[in-house]
Amino acid sequence: MNGFKRMTAALISIALTAFIGLGIFFYQNSFSYEVFLNGERIGNVLEAKTVADALEDADQELKEKYGSNIIYEKEITLEKVQIKTDHEDLLTVKNNILNTVDVQKPAAALIIDGESRFILENEEEVDQLLAAIMDPVKQKLKDLPDHAQLLEVDFKQEITIEEQIVPVDSLYKLEEVMDLVLTGTESALTYQVATGDSAWTISRSFDVGLRSLEEANPGKDLTELAPGDVLVLSKDKPYLDIVYTLKETTIEKIPFETIKKKEDTLYVGQTKVEQQGIHGNKEVVREVTYINDVVDSQKVLSEIVAKEPVEKIVLEGTKARPVAARIVSTTHAAAHNGSIGSSIVAEAKRYLGVPYVRGGSTPSGFDCSGFTSYVYRQLGISIPRTSGAQARVGGYVARSDLKPGDLVAFTGHVGIYVGGGNFIHAPSPGKRVMISSMNTSYWRARYISGRRVY
């Protein structure tokens, strides 16, 4: 009996132990872990080891992508909770870590005039960028002509390189920055044309040269602007300007002066060159500063005259001209030949627009008598060279009997009658061969006679 009791007690003890152990097992496996990274929930796992493995895998992936010198905060907190059915596996936890952390790393910032412009992987990349901009200019400046000497070349802007801890997604690739820097900024300024605007008024208002305005608007006719048209006022500007200074030596012309002297043996209006002018020359040394190959400023360092100029001396007549007689030879003119007259007029009209040149008697420039004598000569008709002599040549023709091709004489002037009360002539300095009416008060008062010279 006692043995039976002891066996029963033992069985009860074993059963109780088993029950307690099973209870502990179920108690321990009824919990999971809420995972927090830097205070932000990233999932739920059954085992803490899953988090450690996911963190190790994420760290390796980040270093492979961004380099071993990355910096990021990775404070993991596990919170024991009642088991959930929606817990995460290793891969999911790793991806959640990658999507949550803010990864930073040391980098080199290019500072332009105190402003951070581009952030590159390291200082060596910044140096490569600056060299890509500067080296072509330095290479070009090695091939300067003999009269130019390089004094200095540098960036116009103040440039520094600063180490910074930055987010990895703020880093530029070197190739991208080179394209940006070499093509320039997108800072073009535009203007909408208003009523009354012209290219000139717009250029003055915005202090933009007309040539710059044309270059910034290729294909647009600036002479035909209409209200509503949009003009680009400035082209893209580079992030960096290269400034260099040259010492340049040039040989420059020294203009001669023209001295005018009165001469009483020449008639009023006549001139004569007594001495031809000769230009001098000088050696000029300048310090010239260029920005992006365009002259920005220059300073003269020295001037040495190598050859003095010789002045030009021009004699100007003071002698009064004789007054042409109103009554001239009235020898009866030959009968008008319409064919010859028409040929004379046609020949004369060929030279419409030729400039007046004092003493000129060729198609490069005529004075009045040079024009008439040249035209008649082309038809085989020879007449004197001066207007006074021409007023007496040939036969007299009354004004009412003038025919095309006749010579018409005025006080100090001659021309060729073309019909209809008009004549063709080389008028005066500053004008060109033209057709004028003889019926104006000016020419009517100065008319002397008509002459038929054939």
**Catalytic residue ranges:** 368, 413, 425
Helix axes 368-378, 338-349, angle to 10 degrees: 130
Determine if residue 153 is left, alpha or beta; phi over 0 gives left, psi from -120 to 50 gives alpha, anything else beta: beta
3-class secondary structure, 64: helix
Provide the H-helix boundaries in 187-276. 199-205, 210-216
CA distance 404 to 435: 13
Q: What six digits make up the tokens of 358?
A: 């004092």
Q: Which residue has the tokens 């910096």?
A: 71
Q: How far apart are CA 365 and CA 430, in angstroms?
A: 11
Q: Where are the beta strands (DSSP E) in 308-400?
A: 312-319, 361-362, 365-366, 395-397
In the numeric block, which tokens belong to residue 437?
């009416």
Estimate to the nearest angstrom the gap between the alpha carbon of 357 and the chain centroid.
40
Contact criterion met (CB below 8 Å) for 404 and 342: yes
Whole-angstrom distance, CA of residue 432 vs CA of residue 354: 5
The b-or-e profile of 317-351 (16+ CB within 10 A means b, else e) is: beeeeeebeeeeeeeebeebeeebbebbbebbeeb
The answer to whether the CB of 129 falls within 8 A of the CB of 181 is: yes
